[in-house]
Amino acid sequence: MEKQNQMKKLATIQIDVDGLWVIFQHFGYQKHTTSDILYESALPRFLDLFGQYDIKATFFVVGRDLLVPARISLLKEAVRRGHEIANHTMNHTEGFSYLPAHKKKGEIEEAEKVIESTLGVKPVGFRTPSNDVDEETLKILEDRGYVYDSSLMPTYYGPILKRLKFSSLSIPRKDNYLGKWHYGFSPLHPYNPSYTSLHRRGTMKLLEIPITTMPYLRLPFHASFVFAAASLGLKSLLFDIGFFLLTRSKLGVYNFVFHTNELSDQIFDIKIKRQFGLNLPLSQKQELCSHVLQKITRNFQCVTTKEYVKKFHRTD
């Protein structure tokens, strides 16, 4: 198995560990409870599935969730099994790029401290909520010793997808939800961004690890979109097309992202009914996740993003 893995190309699997309150927040509601069905039902399933497929993954954690003991225990188990914990801000504040510098720094720093004090690990990777990233954020991360950011999603279709979602979300229109339109032209390969235009290569020490979109077409095909397509009856078609193009391209790298709701119990709540994937039956979610991971691990060795960055430096 070890020798077989060494011959495979590298991939990294990331999970945005967004609690149910984050989804409610997207739709303009407040919901903070001690028990969270997304955490409690999805995390153990992800851990088992990763064990089954020999995957070391990266969990992007929102600091605020680490104020709840039950959530700390679940994430401690992830650390114990060799997975990485990365920073996903303290409060998952939407419109992150519009925050003043001191607030951005506060969101990053507070989450970092609570991750260190509860889980005993120092995060070296970061993702903004809703891919809303800017140069100022990357500079703050670099100054704090982060080795990578993974907020960028290189797609030409950001403005269209944003418009479709705005009809149901509470996010203000003055927002870089899914990133700025020109981020669609950024490299698909990990790269060192420029200090003035983060979608271009430059001299930053920090690496940007873009969320992989389809080679050539640049359509997103990470789990949120795969589950959205499945909700429309397309089963795994979107993933299969994206993966086919990926394996036929010369890209040679892969960063696939899940969210907790993609392996949670089925949730019916009228307030968040437009969140794709929540109301799919669990058996269908499990089938889709297994299908995706089976295909990925057949072609790639899945390591934590921290490890991926190291090996990338070594081979680039």
Binding stretches for Zn ion (CB under 5 A): 16, 18, 129
Query: Whose Cβ is closer to Zn ion: residue 191's or residue 258's?
Result: 258
Q: Which lies closer to Zn ion via its Cβ, residue 129 or residue 154?
A: 129
Please name the residue that has the structure tokens 């394996």. Answer: 247
Structure tokens, 196: 């003035």
d(CA 253, CA 279): 32
In the complex, what is the shortest distance from the CB of residue 234 to Zn ion, in angstroms, rounded to a whole number?
Answer: 24
Going by the DSSP 8-state scheme, the letter that residue 82 receives in this structure is T
Residue 52 CA to residue 40 CA, distance in Å, equals: 19
For residue 241, the minimal CB distance to Zn ion (Å) is 25
Q: Which is closer to Zn ion, CB of 18 or CB of 36?
A: 18
The count of C-alpha atoms lying within 13 angstroms of the C-alpha of 172, restricted to the half-sphere facing its C-beta, is 8
Q: What's the min distance (Å) between Cβ of 89 and Zn ion? A: 8
Q: Which is nearer to Zn ion, 91 or 279 (CB)?
A: 91
Rounded to a whole number of angstroms, the minimum distance from the CB of residue 130 to Zn ion is 7
**For residues 80 and 308, what is the distance between their CA atoms, to the nearest angstrom?**
19
- How far apart are CB 128 and Zn ion at their closest, in Å? 9
Identity of the residue, 36 or 204, whose beta carbon is nearer to Zn ion in the bound complex: 36
- Residue 84, SS3? strand
Amino acid at 185: F
How far, in Å, CA of 259 to CA of 187, rounded? 24
